[in-house]
Amino acid sequence: MMNNPNPIRDYIVPGKRVHLVGVGGVSMCPLAEVLRGMGLTVQGSDMTESDTVKHLRSLGIPVAIGHNAENLGDCDFVVRTAAVHDSNPEIAGAVARGIPVYERAQAWGAIMQRYPNALCVSGTHGKTTTTSMCTHIFMAAEADPTVMIGGTLPLLHAGYRVGHGDTIILESCEYCNSFLSFSPTVAVILNVEADHLDFFKDLHDIEHSFHRFAELVPPKGSVIVNADNQGALDSVAGLAHPVFTFGLDHPADCTAANLGETDGRPTFDVVIRGEKYAHVTLQVYGHHNILNALAAASAAYALGLPGKAVEEGLAAFAGAGRRFEHKGTYHGAEVYDDYAHHPDELHALLTTARELDYKRVIVAFQPHTYTRTAALFDRFVEELKLADVAVLAEIYAAREQNTLGISSSDLCRNIPGSVYCSTLDKVADQLRQIVRSGDLVLTVGAGDIYRAGEKLLKEK
C-alpha cells in the first residue's frame, strides 16, 4: 500500500488519531466504533449526510461532509474504503504529507488479530445470509460478538454490532482479494464460482485466491467447506490444513437428516459425524438456505457452541435485508425484494419461488455491472427463463463504464416474453400493467431495483 513503511497494527494503539475516508459506509461505521473503543481518536469524512453519519457524531466522532485535504488535520494515519481512489483530495493530501494510507480490509485484519475467535464467512454468494445466521446463533449463545455484515440484519437494526466478547464475525469478500488481509481462525467457504471477472482472470484465479484465504487459518483453527460445491472443494485441494465439510448431496462432516417441513419451512436435524447436534426449524425457504444453515451450524460447532444456541438462533432468523425481503402487497400480489445478482443466486431464488403457492412468478431484474453481464450472459438468460414473466431494467453500472456496449435489451431479445425497461419508473409502470392478484413479484439485483418495487407499492 502507499506511504506505508510499517504495518497498520503499529498504528492501531491507544492515543493515535485515525481519519476514515468514507466513514459513512457499511463497514466503515463499525470500524470507526471499534477503533474508538480501542482507545484511538477517530475522525472521518463522507460525501453526504446520512443516519450513519449522525450516529457517529452522537458518539463524539467528528465527520466532515465532502472530501478536502484540510479534513486530515493532525491525523497519524488514514483508512479508506475500496470506493475511494488515489485521486481523492484527502488521499492525495495524505501522500503529500507522508501520512500512511491503509485499506479498510487491512484495518479489519489487524483488529481480528486481537480476538481469540475470528469467524470469516466467504463465498461467491450466500455470505450475508450465512453471516447473519452466525450472528443469530452467537447472540443466542450470549457470546456478545462483534459483527460486520454486508447488509442490514433486523436483529441488529444495522449491518454491524460492536460487542465485548471474544468473537468477531465478518462477511469476507474476495473482490480485489480483500479477504486476504484478514486473519481468520475459522474460515467458511460457501461456494466458489466465476464472478468479479473485471478483477479475476478466470475461475482458476478465483479458486487460487480462496486457497490463499484458507491458508491464513492457523493450525488450531478450522476451514469449513461446502462439499456440494466443486469450486469450493477445488479451492482447498492440496491444503495442508484439515478441512471440515458440510453438505446435503455429498458425504460431509455436517449434514441434514430427517428433512421435513413445518408450514412450508424446512425442518431437519443437524448431524455432525454421525451424532445429532441440533434440531432446526428455519423461517427462510430453499435448498440453499439449508446449506447456509449447515455452514453456520458448522462454524458454531467448531467454536464450541451448544446445539441449543443453533436451534434458538436459527429459529429466530427471518432473513437479512434484501434477501427475499417482503416489501408489501399490491392488488393481491405479494412483492418481495432480493439482492441476487449472480446466475447461481438467481437459480436459487427462482427455483424456490416456483415451489411456493403463487399463480405466477414475475421478476424485475437489474443486472449488476457490464462485465458480469457479458461474462455470464448465457447463464443469466437461462435462469431468467425460470420466471413466468421477466421485466429487465437497464444494467446497473456500479464502478464501471460501458466499454462493452452491452445492454439489458440484449438479454431481453433472448428471453421469450420478456420486457426491457430503460428506467426504473418504466419498470414500475410495466409491473403496474401486468401484475394480477395471486402473483409473486420479485425485484432482484444488487443495485437500486428495489426502488421500482417501492414505487409500485406507493401507488397501490
User: 42 and 83 share a domain?
Assistant: yes
Q: Is residue 320 part of a domain?
A: no
Sign of the CA dihedral with 127 first, then 132, 137, and 138 last: positive
Please give the tally of structural domains in the chain.
3
Q: Among the three residues 104, 125, 152, which one is the final residue of a domain in this structure?
A: 104
Do 96 and 120 sit in the same domain of this protein? no
pLDDT digits (tens, 9 = 90+) for 145-193: 999 987 778 888 788 888 899 999 999 988 788 899 999 999 999 999 9
Do 284 and 341 sit in the same domain of this protein?
no
- Same domain as 80, residue 227: no
166, burial (CB in 10 Å: exposed 0-12, middle 13-18, buried 19+): middle
Question: Is 3 contained in some domain?
Answer: no
- Domain finish residue from 46, 81, 104: 104
Angle between helices 424-434 and 450-458 (to 10 degrees): 50
pTM: 0.80
Question: Residue 412 is part of which domain span?
Answer: 325-458
- Residue 1 within a domain: no
What are 301-347's pLDDT values in tens digits?
Answer: 999 999 999 999 999 998 877 788 889 999 999 999 998 999 989 99
Query: What digits encode the pLDDT tens for the residues 81-110?
Result: 877 889 999 999 999 999 999 999 999 999
DSSP code of residue 10: G
Q: How far apart are CA 405 and CA 428, in angstroms?
A: 25
| 203 plus 331 within the same structural domain | no
Burial of 350 (0-12, 13-18, 19+ CB in 10 A): buried
**DSSP bridge pairs for 420:** 392
Same structural domain for residues 119 and 194?
Answer: yes
Q: Residues near 309 by Cβ (< 8 Å), separated by ≥ 6?
A: 137, 138, 140, 141, 300
Q: Are residues 242 and 380 in the same domain?
A: no
Q: What share of the chain is helix, strand, coil (3-state, %, to 5)?
A: 35, 25, 40
Are residues 269 and 121 located together in one domain of the fold?
yes
The closest of 326, 336, 402, 333 to 367, measured between CA atoms, is 402
The pLDDT, as a whole number, for residue 83 is: 78
Residue 39 maps to which CATH number? 3.40.50.720
Domain holding 360: CATH number?
Answer: 3.90.190.20
- Of 258, 289, 315, the one marking the end of a domain is 315
Instruction: Tell me: do 347 and 295 sit in the same domain.
Output: no
Within this chain, do residues 305 and 333 fall inside the same structural domain, yes or no? no
Question: How much of the chain exceeds pLDDT 70, in percent?
Answer: 99
Q: What is the mean pLDDT of the chain?
A: 93
Q: What is the pLDDT of residues 382-427, one digit of tens each?
A: 999 999 999 999 999 987 899 999 999 999 999 999 999 999 999 9
- Three-state DSSP class for residue 393: strand
- Residue 1 pLDDT exceeds 60: no
3-class secondary-structure state, position 442: strand
Torsion of CA 259, 260, 262, 263, to 10 degrees: 120
Instruction: Report strand pairing: 333-338 vs 186-189.
Output: unpaired
Element (H, E) at 171: strand 167-171
CATH of the domain at 296: 3.40.1190.10
Helix (H, G, I), strand (E, B) or coil at 446: coil
Say whether both 281 and 407 belong to one domain. no
Statement to judge: residues 369 and 268 lie in one domain: no
Does residue 235 lie within any of the structural domains?
yes
